[in-house]
Amino acid sequence: MAYVIGEPCVDVMDRGCVQECPVDCIYEGARALYIHPDECVDCGACVPVCPVEAIYYEDDLPAELEAYREDNAAFFFQPLPAHEDRIGSPGGATKLGPLGVDAPLVAGLPKRSIRS
Ligand code: F3S
Ligand code: F3S
């Protein structure tokens, strides 16, 4: 089980959640951040700091964000366009830095301007 980052993060990427995560399991893509489903320890510390309420426990995802559970996992466990291999389970996001790619659902969303 894990927490999931949904559509409100896309093109916003506040990154406040990254500072809160005790296990460094929030990875940066090109347009959104992704929580590693195996590395997350379900502490919930990331939830209240997100200014756009993008983060939910996977069983509590609103219906319109349900697809992001699978998309978060796809970021790590599917081959991604323009990325040589699956990201897998690196055991920490900081050492990798921004990965410059996105999971399929996020990659297919139309661009939007940053919200104020
Ligand atoms: Fe995104 Fe919210 Fe984190 S906007 S980067 S999920 S603080
Ligand atoms: Fe990290 Fe806890 Fe969120 S392990 S991803 S801060 S639920």
Q: What's the 26 CA to ligand 2 centre distance in angstroms?
A: 8
Quickly name the fold that domain 3-107 has: Alpha-Beta Plaits (3.30.70)
- Has residue 116 got a pLDDT over 70? no
Residue pair 34/90 in contact (Cβ under 8 Å)? The answer is no
CB 20 near ligand 2, within 6 Å: yes
pLDDT higher than 90, residue 20: yes
pLDDT of 99: 94
- CA distances for 19 relative to 53, 77, 110, angstroms: 16, 24, 28
pLDDT of residue 115: 52
CA distances from 98 to 10, 26, 28, 84, 115 (A): 14, 11, 5, 15, 21
Structure confidence at residue 61 (pLDDT): 97
Question: How much of the chain exceeds pLDDT 90, in percent?
Answer: 87
Q: Is the CB of 50 under 6 A from ligand 2?
A: no
Q: Ligand nearest 49 Cα, by number?
A: 1
Q: Which atom of ligand 1 is nearest to the CA of 18?
A: 3
Q: Is the pLDDT of residue 45 over 70?
A: yes
Distances (CA, A) of 38 to 26, 51, 53, 91, 110: 11, 25, 22, 9, 29
Distance 20 CA to ligand 2 centre (A): 7
Q: How far does residue 16's CA lie from ligand 1's centre (Å)? A: 6
